[in-house]
């Protein structure tokens, strides 16, 4: 009888340990900085657009709630655009925006087997001070339900173009994903949209994926 109880205890321990191993990111407390990158595009109207991603940094930390189902990190990113050329067609309006795309591998809001019960709903929250962007638009707090198989576009803000150059950047943005089993992936992006009397053009620049 003791042998069977001991074997059952070992099996249960291994099961919980395996789940915890899957839920705990390998890069917890790791700091990752990614190289600056730029692309150049020419619009149909002849404008030369340079889109840049700078100072991208993803710092994963052990979650403050100490839950194996929570991912916590701090994100830094700057996006900028410059317009050059001698087109005869004026640019009526334009914006540059930057942010991160975030995805959860597996939603465990309905609970797990082997006696391990998860939280009520897979949730993601992004928080940062809106005053960090002057003359543009920024959201203070973002909280949403996330589902597996979906990628969420989280914009840090949008800056209207008032001249040939514009940019926006934020440092240390707090990001938290809860009730998620397996890796949470993030990917930086910078986007510019231009409008002229004859054309509308939108260009994107993406960073490399990082797993929290």
* Residues 154 and 173 sit within 8 Å (Cβ to Cβ): no
Question: Tokens standing for 61?
Answer: 């930390």
| Number of Cβ within a 10 Å radius of residue 49 | 19
3-state secondary structure 97-127: EEEEEEEEEEECCCCCCCCCCCCCCCEEEEE
At 138 the pLDDT is 41
DSSP for 9-74, please give it: HHHHHHHHHHHHHHHS-TTTT-EEE---EEEEEE-TTS-EEEEEEEEEEEEEE--TT--TT-EEEE
Q: If the chain, 212 residues long, is cut into consecutive pieces of 10 residues, what is the mean pLDDT of each piece?
A: 39 31 42 87 95 93 84 90 91 92 68 34 48 39 61 84 90 81 86 95 93 82
At 69 the pLDDT is 78
Specify the DSSP element, H or E, that contains 191: strand 180-195
- Residues with Cβ within 8 Å of 35's Cβ and at least 6 positions away in sequence, in order, are none
Question: Tokens standing for 53?
Answer: 């991603």
* Residues 143 and 121 sit within 8 Å (Cβ to Cβ): no
At 121 the pLDDT is 39
Question: Tokens standing for 145?
Answer: 């339900």
At 125 the pLDDT is 58
At 146 the pLDDT is 63
* Residues 12 and 157 sit within 8 Å (Cβ to Cβ): no
At 171 the pLDDT is 85
Q: What global pTM score does this model have?
A: 0.70
Sign of CA dihedral 83, 88, 89, 91: positive
* CATH architecture under which domain 38-129+147-211 falls: Sandwich (2.60)
At 195 the pLDDT is 94
At 144 the pLDDT is 58
At 141 the pLDDT is 52
Name the residue ranges covered by the structural domains of the chain: 38-129+147-211
* Residues 120 and 109 sit within 8 Å (Cβ to Cβ): yes
């Amino acid at each position: 009888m003791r042998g069977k109880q001991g074997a059952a205890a070992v099996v249960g321990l291994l099961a919980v340990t395996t789940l915890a191993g899957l839920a705990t990111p390998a890069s917890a407390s790791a700091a990752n900085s990614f190289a600056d990158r730029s692309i150049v595009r020419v619009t149909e109207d002849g404008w030369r657009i340079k889109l840049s991603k700078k100072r991208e940094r993803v710092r994963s930390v052990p979650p403050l709630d100490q839950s194996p189902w929570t991912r916590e990190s701090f994100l830094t990113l700057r996006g900028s655009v410059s317009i050059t050329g001698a087109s005869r067609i004026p640019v009526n309006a334009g914006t540059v925006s930057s942010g991160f795309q975030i995805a959860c591998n597996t939603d465990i809001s309905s609970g797990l087997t082997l006696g391990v019960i998860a939280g009520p709903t897979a949730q993601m929250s992004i928080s940062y001070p809106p005053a960090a962007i002057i003359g543009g638009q920024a959201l203070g707090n973002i909280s949403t339900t996330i589902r597996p198989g979906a990628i969420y576009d989280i914009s840090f803000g949008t800056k209207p173009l008032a001249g040939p150059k514009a940019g926006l950047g934020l440092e240390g943005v707090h990001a938290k994903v809860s009730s998620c089993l397996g890796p949470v992936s993030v990917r930086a992006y910078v986007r510019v949209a231009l409008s002229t009397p004859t054309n509308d053009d939108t260009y994107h620049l993406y960073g490399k994926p990082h797993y929290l």
